[in-house]
Amino acid sequence: MIKLDHGVEISVNPEYESLVPKLSSSAYEALKQSIKERGLLTPIIINPQGVILDGHNRFRICQELIVETTFNVRDLGDSLKEKLFVIESNLIRRQLNSIKRIELAYKLEPIYAELARERKLASLRQNSSSVQNYTDGEKGRVIEKCAKIAQVSPSLYHQGRYVIKTASDEIKRELRLGTRSINETYRLIKEQERKRSTEDAQKSELQIPKEGIQIYQADFREKIGLIPDESIDLMFTNCSHCDSFLQRDVMQFATRILRRERYFVVYTNKNQIQTIMQAARGAGLSYRWLIVTTNKKSPYLANLYGFDEHCRIMLIFSKGLPTLKGQRISDLIEGPNGAPSSDSFDATQIVSSFSIEGEIICDPFLDYSRAIASLELKRKMIGFVASQEGYEITKSMLDICRSRITSR
């Protein structure tokens, strides 16, 4: 164990070392030969406790060769920032191909997420504002940031991270060696998934409920081939948490399952309007109009770019040229007598305006307020909830609603 003059012992944190890819045998030997001939040119970076942050391979080689080792101390404050430094240092310095850079950048996502949560907690302590969980909207921004640091396009980063999550170890090894391309591997994986989905659909189509609500605890994309084409009368969901890739998947899903001349109503936020519009156009849906709902008693915010945090935005798209099925609906949804609106009130207005009794609604990101509105208005519904917790909450709320309806 090496000990510095001021008594600090140099050590290796296995977690930090595992964050960066190992050098190949040939690269390790080339680095070793360079250090043998020229000495250590770049100091090893350590934290104040002597833990190595950057230079694990150089440190090991210096020990093997018994070469004088120099150190620079970096005080980054906490382990999260140290992990960030470990990864970013290797991304900046090492010569890596695209998939290796994406693999490193992918490890940054949970670190960025935790740092974002800590910033929100700090904001709470300073101004007592509410702290929300790390959202998929923030996740979308993190993905763009990771793509930039990996020096690839957001599209290639999206493909690469998908391959990392789904491909076999052998395929990932071939990608690292450069014998496969990311684009081709991604395309082949998607083709295999579509084939499996089609085969599953032929074996057993997802059951359209004869009445009531059918909930699936799953990512809707896992069941995407199980809903028959043109079998849904209204699609109603919330995409304010979706990144551009998930928006595209949702729009393509809507185009396939909606009947002709039917509507897709989607919650979004003002920062995502443009990407939602682009995804809808790309999927062949037509934009119809915009509805604002406000959870604060305030005048109508007519200027599109004047929406504040109290406003929720719904975009209305259609497949073909439909007419409203139920009651007419205003461009502004407010509660009774101008009171603030709520999720349940919004859902009741949309379901009653864009569908009629007995029709089928699909929600790929099911929220219990939309499920309850469908149940109370005697619509059928298919919904997907990705998390187990959300699934249990939605089921409990629906059970309460069913009991209330039965007792009437």
Q: Domain range holding 346?
A: 208-406
* pTM exceeds 0.85: no
Residues 245 and 393 in one domain: yes
The 10s digit of each residue's pLDDT in 236-252 is 999 988 888 889 999 99
Contact 180, 351 (CB under 8 A): no
pLDDT tier at 133 (50, 70, 90 boundaries)? very low
Report the domain count for the chain: 3
Residues 162 and 185 in one domain: yes
From residue 151, alpha-carbon distances to 74, 158, 181, 202 in Å are: 25, 13, 16, 42
**Where is average pLDDT lowest: 172-186, 210-224, 233-247, 253-267?**
210-224
Q: Which of 56, 82, 108 is the last residue of a domain?
A: 82
Is 88 within the bounds of a domain? no
CA 357 – CA 196 distance, rounded (Å): 35
Q: Please report, for the domain that includes residue 330, its CATH number.
A: 3.40.50.150
Is 91 within the bounds of a domain? no
Residues 132 and 169 in one domain: yes
Region 335-348: mean pLDDT is 74
Cβ neighbour number for residue 153 with a 10 Å cutoff: 12
DSSP 8-state class, residue 337: G
Q: How far is CA 290 from the centre of its chain?
A: 25
CA 340 – CA 87 distance, rounded (Å): 47
Residues 254 and 394 in one domain: yes
- Which 3 state secondary structure label does DSSP give 187? helix
Is 90 within the bounds of a domain? no
Q: Please report, for the domain that includes residue 4, its CATH number.
A: 3.90.1530.30
Query: How much is the pLDDT for 244?
Result: 84
Is 123 within the bounds of a domain? yes
Contact 297, 339 (CB under 8 A): yes
Is 137 within the bounds of a domain? yes
More confident residue, 306 or 173: 173
Query: How much is the pLDDT for 305?
Result: 42
CA 96 – CA 84 distance, rounded (Å): 18
SS (HEC) of 292-323? EEECCCCCCCCCHHHCCCCEEEEEEEEECCCC
Q: Which of 52, 82, 112 is the last residue of a domain?
A: 82
**Which two tokens mark 239?**
């995409």
Residues 115 and 189 in one domain: yes
Q: Which of 82, 108, 133 is the last residue of a domain?
A: 82
Residues 34 and 164 in one domain: no
Is 69 within the bounds of a domain? yes
Residues 273 and 358 in one domain: yes
Region 376-400: mean pLDDT is 87
DSSP 8-state class, residue 210: S
Residues 378 and 234 in one domain: yes
Residues 220 and 182 in one domain: no
Residues 157 and 237 in one domain: no
